[in-house]
Amino acid sequence: MSKERDFLIFSGTNSRYLAEKICQSLGCELGKMQVDRFADGEFSVYYEESIRGKDVYLVQSTVPTSDNLMELLLMIDAAKRASAHYIVAVIPYFGWARQDRKDKPRVSIGAKLIADMLCAAGICRLITMDLHADQIQGFFNVPVDHLYASNVFSNYIQETLSMDNLVIATPDVGGTKRANSYARYLGVPMVICHKSRLKANEVAEMRIIGEVEGKDVLLIDDIVDTAGTITKAANLMLENGAKSVRAIASHAVMSDPATERVAASALSEMIFTDSIPYRKECHNVRILSVADMFAEAIKRVSCHESISSLYNI
């Protein structure tokens, strides 16, 4: 039997709510850490307890992007300088993941830059969830445990939602692989929304490939930012005769005016995980927690056990 190593869990400012739930699931205390902020916006990090020789798990989603990333980098650096034995970055939502390739001339590959920064700061491992592009795992020179929210969503779909004529849909062609995995797992058909953009965050045209009339449609996505695409797809489904439209997405970025769009849309339910704190009020938004899944992943990594059984889809 694997022997559990001595580990501590610490949290950045914006992900404390999730780190506390992870610790509750593991039956341990959240580590004590202080972030001091200066008047000009600069901040410093220090640990209020000894971490010498310990495995430390640092929980921090990188949204809003810049401050939370910088805070995480300082947490990593402080842990390294305090002689931590093993430093694991737990990043439920990995920001900059949409910048995973050169899609036009003279553009940065932000995801690769962030990977290099995290490795240079001193992480030994990364635990994350639903990267926008799977190939981002290859940007790291350390082990990456890539979890999937499908483990939480699939249980909710099968146990809570009651839909007679379920159809899985993707709001854009880029999400076809993800939606197809759900369709195969649930044994239901799939349709695709094809969209074209004039510029980022603005959909110019959208049309449906497949049949939705009389169906209960479930849209699958990884990130909802301004909610323009997902709400346009939902409204289009209803206009084409869908019986009901719901959506699930791993990360609730929900930049303004996303909440207003979701509230006014044809979506009877918009289901997110708590990888990002969603603090606004919206009658048709539901949040499912991934704390237990991350807690189990941390426990298995600590015990040198496989995490493959955590993947439903």
Separation of alpha carbons 47 and 297, rounded Å = 24
Which residue among 195, 215, 280, 299 is the active-site one?
195
Two structure tokens written together for 278: 């969603």
Is 80 known to be catalytic?
no
Contact between residue 294 and residue 90 where contact means Cβ atoms under 8 Å apart? yes
From start to end of the chain, where are the E strands?
7-11, 33-37, 43-47, 55-59, 86-91, 125-129, 144-147, 166-170, 190-199, 202-209, 216-224, 244-252, 269-273, 285-288
CA distance 236 to 36: 48
CA 162 to the chain's CA centroid:
25
Alpha helices in 168-249 (DSSP H): 176-186, 228-239
> Around 67, how many Cα atoms within 13 Å sit in the side-chain half-sphere?
11
Q: Catalytic residue numbers?
A: 195
